[in-house]
Amino acid sequence: MSRVNHKMSAMEMVHAISRGIPGTIAVLAGIKADYEKIDPENGMDIFGYLLTMDMFQIYDGSLWNIHSKLCDMQIVKTIAILRSLQLGIFSSEDINFHLQEEIKTLDFEKLIIEIRSIIGDNFAPEFEM
């Protein structure tokens, strides 16, 4: 069941998704601070990412787990995961699979190339390949 609705402010959505968990709030703050330079084609401000998290039920500590375990604490990679969900490149099952792996096999270079092939080369322009 959805935790956010169209009547909520961004802060209300952040609270609904994070439930006040500091690590999750920190990741959301990092996304808010960096998304314009990483994902300039995103036309929905932070709302696009919040709605994606809600749609895929990335709640409470889940975002922190993705950011810390899968994305090496790099906001660019976390945004890439969220964008890949929006674009249908990734599913919740894909994320869960990669989170459970002992050895990381997620190829972010390949993922970013795939995202760029759909939305253009402006995505993650500073990501080192």
> According to the model, what pLDDT value does residue 1 have?
83
Tell me the pTM: 0.93
Give me the DSSP letters along 28-86: HHHHHHHHHHH-TT-TTHHHHHHHHHHHTT--TTHHHHIIIIISTT-HHHHHHHHHHHH
Q: Residue range 44-67: average pLDDT?
A: 94
Evaluate if residue 108 carries a pLDDT over 90: yes
The Cα angle at residue 52 between residues 46 and 98, in degrees rounded to 5: 115
> According to the model, what pLDDT value does residue 45 have?
86
Evaluate if residue 103 carries a pLDDT over 80: no
Q: What is the percentage of the chain residues whose pLDDT exceeds 70?
A: 99
Phi, psi for 71 (deg, rounded to 5): -110, 10
Domain boundaries, the chain: 10-119
> According to the model, what pLDDT value does residue 129 have?
63
